[in-house]
Homo-oligomer: A and B are copies of this chain.
């Protein structure tokens, strides 16, 4: 089903046929989440204009927001110098990217020293996940 486009061939897919993807919010430049795409996911992201990832746990395409409604409208797709990492610049619908109901998935911050330090939650839950997952 996949097109044999030159731009898709330029991406260096890993041994599982995947590429790491960073989703960054347009405007704030906040890093929202990290996920993976296979060839079909990247192609469908371009054609649909919404972020479609590959779920490694469920082993299927994952249209981000399909359950929660928190879809991502894709403004830009970028590729890094080694052609093995993709960066999406997205508009985050509902301002919530994380399944915990937070804006970004990166809400745990390391505080303290190397021996006694730990990860601390430093970002608020904006919406109870029970309200957007069935």
Size of A's binding interface in residues, CB under 8 A: 44
Of B10, B29, B85, B114, the residue contacting A119 (CB under 8 A) is: B10
On chain B, the residues within 8 Å of A102 by CB distance are: 81
Contact A46 B117 (CB under 8 A): yes
A46-B106 contact given A34-B85, A119-B7, CB 8 Å threshold: no
List A residues 76-124 near B (Cβ within 8 Å). Answer: 76-83, 85, 87, 98-100, 102, 105-110, 113-119
Contact B100 A81 (CB under 8 A): yes
Binding site for B on A (CB under 8 A): 3, 5-7, 10, 20, 22, 24, 28-31, 33-34, 43, 46-47, 76-83, 85, 87, 98-100, 102, 105-110, 113-119
